[in-house]
Chain A
Amino acid sequence: MKKLTIEKKRRLEGILFISPWLLGVAIFFANPIIQSIRLSLSKIVKFKGFVMKWYGFGNYSKAFIWDINFVPMFLNVIKDTFINTPITLVFSLIIAMLINRSMKGQSFFRTVFFLPVLLGTGHVMKQVLGMGIGEDAMAVAKGILMPEEFMRYLGPAFTQAVDGFLGRITLILWKSGVQIIIFLAGLQGISSSLYEAAHCDGCTSWEAFWKITLPLMTPVLLLNFIYTIIDSFTDSNNPIVDYILNYGFKNNQFGYGAAMGWIFFLFIALVCGLVFAFMRKRVYNAGLKQG
């Protein structure tokens, strides 16, 4: 056997470690993706054995021109994402900061806020929330936070706005278990000496949040942002996911389903790319600054 240079040997070792993944990529990722592109550009003629016929961009134009459900549903999902993502991030950051304080019952609160994750983001939760329990919970919680008389005093328009907002928030809170945990991990990583030093220099907690916590949390924020967007788009509660699958499997129109999937994916990729480009310069990177 020929002697390998150290560099070559290192390289081989690295490839050895990721070899299962290379195999996996070929079988479970690259191949399906190519197939999916092919599928989206063709029509299945015979379902037995999946015989395909070239169809060009017919499936794509069908989504925009022919299908009356797809575009409104798509716009609705986009709207929901743009509203829900910032709310999710803000609320999970607030909750994470609240339970990050050293206090009694910390572990209790941590467990409670992680509970929805145990139910899964999937089917079971959909059922539990579908039975109207979420709204009940919010109504009771609202009662504790804001007495009914107070709400009445402020008038119906305000009450309605609050109700709409709170109704949305219950669902959002229920989906933010993972984000809370990730934020919590990030907060634990900030050294307390920074806060002490700032406090000695007369920094209020409000200033400390904007000047210390938030800048140091930007990498975590980016991670959470991407996670939230992906989670909301790939969630099986998402109506568009249901729609695509129903169309594909029930009507046996794999080609059209794949095309809708691709349109959807291109949008996700665009959003993620924009977020990444926007956050890239603003993310605080400890390694770069020091080096």
Chain B
Amino acid sequence: MNKLEISNKSVSAPNMQAGTSEPVQNNASSRKVLFHKLTTRYFWKDIVVNLALYLLLLDLAFVFLYPFLDMIITSLKTEEDLLDITVQWIPSKIFWQNYKIALDSLSYTSFFKNSVVVTILATVGHVLSCSCIAYGFARYRFKGSGILFGIVVLSMIVPVEVLIFPLYMMYSRLGWLNTFLPLTVPAFFGFGLRGGLFIFLFRQFFIGLPYEIEEAARIDGCGPLRTFSSIMLPMSQSSILVSIVLSLVWHWNDFFEPSMYLFKPKVSLLPARLSGIISMFNAEKVVEDYAETEIIFNEAIVMAAIFLVILPILIVYAFLQKRFMEGIERSGLTGQ
């Protein structure tokens, strides 16, 4: 290696001289440059390092993708394919029937409606309330505002186990159990599922914005509410998008709170339905003669059901993906 380097140097030095004095020999010198490039250590090091990094990334990406691929492929397998260990990646026949059974047993259409209502209401609540509250925290300093923001942070770290019992008692007294109110109303007050985090996110973004625009607005006679709604909100599109995506995803997938407050089957949401199917599937594995149920769930149907539940989120994310990533970078999440 060392020897090669030395020879490179001795080649490159006259080459450069030749290049400057005789520009006519362009072809030959460019070939020499190419030769030079190919024989430098750095060039090869670059390629090797890049290849290694790509390999590592692909490897990691595979770990992330595998469960998804496996889920989709398993969901399309027939009963025979599930038992056949030689069929791993390519099912012998694409079996759409699984999806039909999964749709029926989830009662997808009616519970889809429930999930959509809760998710959209809660997301709207989060975006409206958290942006407004965060603006108050970012731009107004008054006595006690520091302590109040401390409480916001505290509300992020208090685990749900501490609050769940009194909240349950409160909702039970109010008669809110088995309605969507416990899941949506707190979101409109900056609470609910990780509400504090959204306040934090918006506040970081507003702090990063320059004061001058608001000052100009105020001088022109624009009131504080108007300043917020027609100047600050349009400027914070990226943060709004990030909040929408995260709030949608978290509410859609949330199993814990709905399972606490919604225990009547009529009002349950999709994740709860899914968990019902999964527990039936697991029960069948234990008790062999579980013949009473009309449908016998196999792994393929369970996977189809899981896929159906996350499908809406995947579709929404596919549309918002690019702007979401840009938004994350601009959201000021990192305090820079």
A79-103 to B contact mask, C-beta < 8 Å, 1/0: 0000000000000000100110101
Q: Give which listed residue, A14, A117, A124, contacts B139 with CB less than 8 A.
A: A14
Question: Is residue B228 contacting chain A, with contact meaning CB distance below 8 A?
Answer: yes
Q: A14-B142, A131-B299, A233-B159 are in contact. Are A28 and B189 (CB under 8 A)?
A: yes
A:122-151 near B, CB below 8 Å: 122-124, 127-129, 131, 133-134, 136-138, 140-141, 144-145
B42 to chain A minimum Cβ distance, whole angstroms, is: 13
Question: Is residue B175 contacting chain A, with contact meaning CB distance below 8 A?
Answer: no
Question: Is residue B256 contacting chain A, with contact meaning CB distance below 8 A?
Answer: yes
> A173–B162 contact, CB under 8 A?
no
Residues in B with CB closer than 8 Å to A108 are 61
B134 to chain A minimum Cβ distance, whole angstroms, is: 9
Question: Is residue A194 contacting chain B, with contact meaning CB distance below 8 A?
Answer: no
> B135–A23 contact, CB under 8 A?
no
A202 to chain B minimum Cβ distance, whole angstroms, is: 15
B140-162 to A contact mask, C-beta < 8 Å, 1/0: 11110100100110011111111
Nearest to B186 among chain A residues (CB) is: A28
Which of A65-73, A206-214, A255-263 binds B?
A255-263
A147-187 to B contact mask, C-beta < 8 Å, 1/0: 00000000000000000000000100110000001101110
Nearest to B225 among chain A residues (CB) is: A16
Question: Is residue B170 contacting chain A, with contact meaning CB distance below 8 A?
Answer: yes
Q: Give which listed residue, B65, B170, B249, B299, contacts A117 with CB less than 8 A.
A: B249
Nearest to A35 among chain B residues (CB) is: B166
Question: Is residue B23 contacting chain A, with contact meaning CB distance below 8 A?
Answer: no
Which of B4-12, B14-22, B33-41, B271-279 binds A?
B271-279
> A181–B254 contact, CB under 8 A?
no
> A39–B166 contact, CB under 8 A?
yes
Q: A32-B170, A223-B334 are in contact. Are A11 and B65 (CB under 8 A)?
A: no
CA distance A241 to B133 in the complex (A): 30
Question: Is residue B111 contacting chain A, with contact meaning CB distance below 8 A?
Answer: no
B301 to chain A minimum Cβ distance, whole angstroms, is: 13
CA distance A103 to B50 in the complex (A): 9
> A116–B145 contact, CB under 8 A?
no
> A127–B306 contact, CB under 8 A?
yes
Residues in B with CB closer than 8 Å to A203 are none
Residues in A with CB closer than 8 Å to B191 are 24-25, 28-29
Nearest to A181 among chain B residues (CB) is: B328
> B199–A173 contact, CB under 8 A?
no
CA distance A25 to B253 in the complex (A): 25
> A241–B161 contact, CB under 8 A?
yes
> A110–B325 contact, CB under 8 A?
yes
Nearest to B275 among chain A residues (CB) is: A123
Residues in B with CB closer than 8 Å to A110 are 325
Question: Is residue A200 contacting chain B, with contact meaning CB distance below 8 A?
Answer: no
B242-257 to A contact mask, C-beta < 8 Å, 1/0: 0000000110111110
A243 to chain B minimum Cβ distance, whole angstroms, is: 9
Residues in B with CB closer than 8 Å to A133 are 66-67, 70-71
Residues in A with CB closer than 8 Å to B313 are 118
> A230–B334 contact, CB under 8 A?
no
Question: Is residue B96 contacting chain A, with contact meaning CB distance below 8 A?
Answer: no
Question: Is residue A109 contacting chain B, with contact meaning CB distance below 8 A?
Answer: yes
A47 to chain B minimum Cβ distance, whole angstroms, is: 10
B111 to chain A minimum Cβ distance, whole angstroms, is: 15
CA distance A181 to B165 in the complex (A): 34
Nearest to A276 among chain B residues (CB) is: B153
Question: Is residue A244 contacting chain B, with contact meaning CB distance below 8 A?
Answer: yes
> B157–A272 contact, CB under 8 A?
yes
> A122–B253 contact, CB under 8 A?
yes
Nearest to A99 among chain B residues (CB) is: B57
CA distance A117 to B321 in the complex (A): 13
Nearest to A221 among chain B residues (CB) is: B334
Residues in B with CB closer than 8 Å to A115 are 64-65, 68
B:277-330 near A, CB below 8 Å: 278, 299, 302, 306, 309-310, 313-314, 317, 321-322, 325, 328-329
B315 to chain A minimum Cβ distance, whole angstroms, is: 11
A55 to chain B minimum Cβ distance, whole angstroms, is: 14
CA distance A262 to B336 in the complex (A): 35
CA distance A185 to B331 in the complex (A): 8
Q: Give which listed residue, A31, A50, A184, A223, contacts B329 with CB less than 8 A.
A: A184
Q: A18-B133, A144-B59 are in contact. Are A107 and B334 (CB under 8 A)?
A: no
Question: Is residue B221 contacting chain A, with contact meaning CB distance below 8 A?
Answer: no
Nearest to B56 among chain A residues (CB) is: A98
> A189–B189 contact, CB under 8 A?
no
Q: Mind listing 5 A-B residue pairs with CB under 8 Å? A: A10-B142, A14-B139, A20-B190, A95-B60, A134-B67
Q: Can you list the 4 inter-chain pairs with the closest CB atoms, starting with the nearest?
A: A14-B140, A24-B189, A120-B253, A17-B136
List 15 other contacts, CB 8 Å, given A20-B132, A21-B148, A249-B260: A16-B224, A18-B148, A29-B191, A33-B163, A98-B53, A118-B313, A136-B70, A141-B66, A185-B331, A219-B335, A223-B333, A230-B159, A261-B162, A264-B162, A265-B162
